[in-house]
A = this chain, B = another copy of it.
Amino acid sequence: MKITVFVTPKKNVLDPQGVAVTHAMHTLGFESAKEVHVGKTIAFEVDGSDTPEFRASLDKLCTDLLSNPVIEDYRYELS
């Protein structure tokens, strides 16, 4: 099973990387760029099937390892 986890900074948290990219975009001609948010994706394959127990362990993995729940949100897609 292929899993992709998307981690994004929470909306109300300062995102210095996003601010830096915004400035760079303005310099490079994208003057209208705004609301820039830089996140990360973690794609991986794992054995198993989509059960409630599996989702619970995946949520634990996301909060313990893949994201910082204080400042980041996550969502995932299974395929």
Report the bound CA distance from A39 to B5 in whole Å.
10
Look across to chain B and name the residue whose beta carbon is closest to the beta carbon of A32. B47
Structural contact, B43 and A39, CB atoms closer than 8 A:
yes
Interface string of A9-48 (1 = CB under 8 A from B): 0000000000001101100111011111111111111111
Interface residues, chain A, CB within 8 Å of chain B?
6, 8, 21-22, 24-25, 28-30, 32-48, 57, 61, 64-66
Number of copies of chain A assembled together? 2
* A39 contacts across to B, CB distance below 8 A: 40-43
Contact check, A44 vs B34: say whether CB atoms are below 8 A apart: yes
Q: How far is the CA of A45 from the CA of B36 in the complex (A)?
A: 7
**Interface contact A43-B32, CB-CB below 8 Å:** no
